[in-house]
Amino acid sequence: MTTPVIAIDGPAASGKSSVAKRVAGQLGWVYVNTGNMFRMITWAVLQAGIDAQDAAAITALEPSLRLSFEVCDGQMTARINDRLLTDAELNSPGVNAAVSLVAQIPTVRARLVSEQRALVTHGSLVMEGRDIGSVIFPDTPHKFYIDASEEVRARRRASQGLSDAVGLRDKLDSTRKNAPLVVPQGALLIDSSELTLDQVVSHVIAALRQQGIPS
């Protein structure tokens, strides 16, 4: 890997998206939210009237889905079948309930692993998700795992007006056979339960400075 990648992993509502976005902005790198890529495929699955537990039907649908990516205002944007989904569509109750199931489908994961690795052609990346440091870019020296207690994460989701069973998603994401949620080897673990966003970002930037990345 020649293009620098900062991998920020963690469970739902740990704060990793906010941290990654702030770090990317401070460094002038491209922010990539990989969770939204799984969400847009989940949205397409539901739009097609397919049950999220019907792996065969999802596998059959996947090749017909056209994905495209471009950088806009420092963030990677993704379109599915030429459509840019809204935050409301990506975070709808149906998508929230189904995304961990769709993310387990081997063909979906294989497709997005390839797509995500190819994004380095757009420049230096701050990429967040659940398997960035363990699967997508395991060789990057810049790995972080942002965590928080289940209670704190549930409160964060509720404050955003989202219905998201974080405990169930943790179980599904951590026990799936294909690329489970784990703390990547060599990652700096940061518990954000009692920290502000500014404090977590400061921890990440300080570690990156020690790793030779200027802020």
Q: Which of 64-68, 115-119, 164-168, 202-206 has the lowest mean pLDDT?
A: 164-168
Q: Can you give the pLDDT at residue 54?
A: 98
Instruction: Give me the count of residues in the chain.
Output: 215
Which residue carries 């489908």 as its tokens?
105
Q: Is the pLDDT of residue 163 over 90?
A: no
Mean pLDDT to the nearest integer, 3-26 = 94
Q: Is the pLDDT of residue 160 over 80?
A: no
Position 3 confidence tier, pLDDT thresholds 50, 70, 90? confident
Position 162 confidence tier, pLDDT thresholds 50, 70, 90? low
Which amino acid is located at 151 in the chain?
Answer: E
Rounded percentage of the chain residues whose pLDDT exceeds 70:
92
Q: Can you give the pLDDT at residue 34?
A: 95
Q: Can you give the pLDDT at residue 164?
A: 63
Average pLDDT score over the chain: 92
pTM: 0.88
| Neighbour-count burial for 106-117, b at 16+ CB within 10 Å, e otherwise | eebbebbbebbe
Domain limits, the chain: 5-210
Nearest in space to 162 (alpha carbons), one of 210, 101, 115, 99: 99
CATH topology of domain 5-210: Rossmann fold (3.40.50)
Residues 6+ away with beta carbon under 8 Å from 214: none
Inter-residue contact 10 to 145 (CB < 8 Å): yes
Inter-residue contact 99 to 147 (CB < 8 Å): no
